[in-house]
Structure 1
């Protein structure tokens, strides 16, 4: 239920472009070590806004595209019908609030899920994903997704060779037997997978894409307290207050429905930043988080896993370093806010 703007907000007095970090008093050293395509359902749960802002403030990644993707029809966060278009409006709004002029990276995904496992859904984002993946650049490319997988699956169906040229990091999927158990009263098909189960089957069952998965039990670890959000986010300038207010709307709604209040909120999309921008200096990897390796399972029609013993290997994260992830976000937001509100040219 992220607020959908009627029009772009007024751009701030200070502007900047991707690839620069004018708010850093000590400039970042060196060039980005990875390219990133961000794909998220930005008109849904506002945890994706935190992930987007955090990624935009992280100089170690070269953000090539921001894909605004759809929710499922009738989703309680945004019932649609054109939720990818709504997501695009939200992203443009965030860029304007931050004074970020690099709007050329924003692309709109399909408003509809896949109809079957052989037919891509055409969209501006699909063409852009294929073009970036096939571009002549040896810098590692991560496709990071915090929602459904429609546009990635469509890009693979259009050009299967992209599987050799990127790593998929996906927030989604059920718990794995032997690693975790479902939460109380859990959705039988995990929320992000339910957005487009067919697309998930293309990515898991039919493709040879390399997957790093952050399943439901792990993204639910990413809890922050209301005190943290009030003191470390809401007080950090206009952008911070915007982020806080968006989560507060969800808490208020959940409380009215008898599911709240709670002193915590799950910023479940933030591992997308942790696993790309916050990798180790030596032997680059998200070394402060833990995962298990397993053959990539197939996804059944009910969203459960089907073991495929000889399948390509997959990382399934079991624990993520929330200290590093959130402390880095709070400090970057504070540093950016101080620069944005400073009257010095």
Structure 2
């Protein structure tokens, strides 16, 4: 027999057992540019397979105009479609609301862009029928959460924002060699980032020096992702497509891929058993800087100091071992 047997019969498959012993301890709204870098698709699949979080909605957000990943003018619409595809391959079609956000960024720091996505964030944040804490896990620009805050500032007391983005902080890390311009996710909507950094929303930031730690090798992708069902093949093909695209432009990605959005799972789902917190990753408290129009930091806060978490080291063993174990378990359960 492939499974251990008891007097009651065979134990359930691993995925079913995981669902049985783990209960949701937090609510999560996922917000990502799924038509862009496919690292967001990996994050989404991992999050959906994590029973400790109750995913309340998935928001497809926009890219910068002309982004080579998706140069269309419907990037948030396309992002929502890409998220629906992942849910379908996981056998979860219709189980989680998928909403397209705005296809453009903020025009200024005071005017919100109202959408079904912002309304959902506000509604979920202001619920009074649950004690589960709410995280907004954002791996792209900050248009939707900034708009939601402008529309209803009370959400600042009702959620925590986990954001993949922003450049390195002085005294913590240096920018990568050859870097110029604003960090990628920050550049999607600098005005929205200015709103958030000047707001009262609790912020856990994973800046570029931290998310660049998430290196996953092509050998691991070939042996630990691609073999595991339709979703494994889909994720591998999406990442390999980036390597092919880069190669056509003379860029060699080497032996690794940065799965930079995956810390969203680590920091919301993979908390310690007692006193829940991402206890195996390291962070420092910083005063939230101002975001300047060019995407750099001004250490002088606009409205007085407020602390934010800045993550400096991520528990990659836990993150990636958990991802590949869940992917394998899902494939085995799906047959």
Provide TM-score, normalisation by structure 2: 0.93
| Cα RMSD for the two superposed structures | 1.4
Kept after mapping to 2: 8 A contact 1:70/1:148: yes
CA shift for structure 1 position 181 = 0.5
- The CA distance in 2 between the partners of 1:118 and 1:302, in whole Å, is 18
Kept after mapping to 2: 8 A contact 1:148/1:192: yes
Aligned counterpart, 1:114: 106
Aligned counterpart, 1:254: 246
Instruction: For residue 79 of structure 1, give the secondary structure of its aligned residue in structure 2.
Output: coil
Instruction: For residue 156 of structure 2, give the secondary structure of its aligned residue in structure 1.
Output: helix
**Count of aligned pairs:** 320
Matched, 1:167 2:150: no
Aligned counterpart, 2:6: none
Aligned counterpart, 1:7: none
Cα 1:22–1:99, aligned 2, differ >3 Å: closer, same or farther? Answer: farther
CA shift for structure 1 position 101 = 2.9
Matched, 1:318 2:312: yes
Instruction: For residue 23 of structure 1, give the secondary structure of its aligned residue in structure 2.
Output: helix
Matched, 1:294 2:286: yes
Aligned counterpart, 1:201: 194
- The CA distance in 2 between the partners of 1:164 and 1:180, in whole Å, is 31
Cα 1:149–1:215, aligned 2, differ >3 Å: closer, same or farther? Answer: same
- The CA distance in 1 between the partners of 2:15 and 2:53, in whole Å, is 16
Aligned counterpart, 2:148: 155
Matched, 1:183 2:176: yes
1:145 to 138, 142, 151: 138
Aligned counterpart, 2:299: 307
Aligned counterpart, 1:215: 207
CA shift for structure 1 position 212 = 0.3
Kept after mapping to 1: 8 A contact 2:22/2:51: no
- The CA distance in 2 between the partners of 1:82 and 1:280, in whole Å, is 39
Aligned counterpart, 1:128: 120
- What's the CA shift string for 1:11-49, capped at 9, x where partnerless? xxxxxxxxxx98324543252110101000000000000
Aligned counterpart, 2:33: 41
Provide TM-score, normalisation by structure 1: 0.90
- The CA distance in 1 between the partners of 2:224 and 2:314, in whole Å, is 21
- The CA distance in 2 between the partners of 1:28 and 1:299, in whole Å, is 44
- The CA distance in 1 between the partners of 2:318 and 2:15, in whole Å, is 20
- The CA distance in 2 between the partners of 1:174 and 1:322, in whole Å, is 20
Matched, 1:93 2:124: no
* Runs of 5+ consecutive residues of structure 2 not aligned to the other structure: 1-12
- What's the CA shift string for 1:102-155, capped at 9, x where partnerless? 355211100110001111112110111111011112211111100000000000
Instruction: For residue 102 of structure 2, give the secondary structure of its aligned residue in structure 1.
Output: coil
Instruction: For residue 268 of structure 2, give the secondary structure of its aligned residue in structure 1.
Output: helix
Aligned counterpart, 1:229: 221
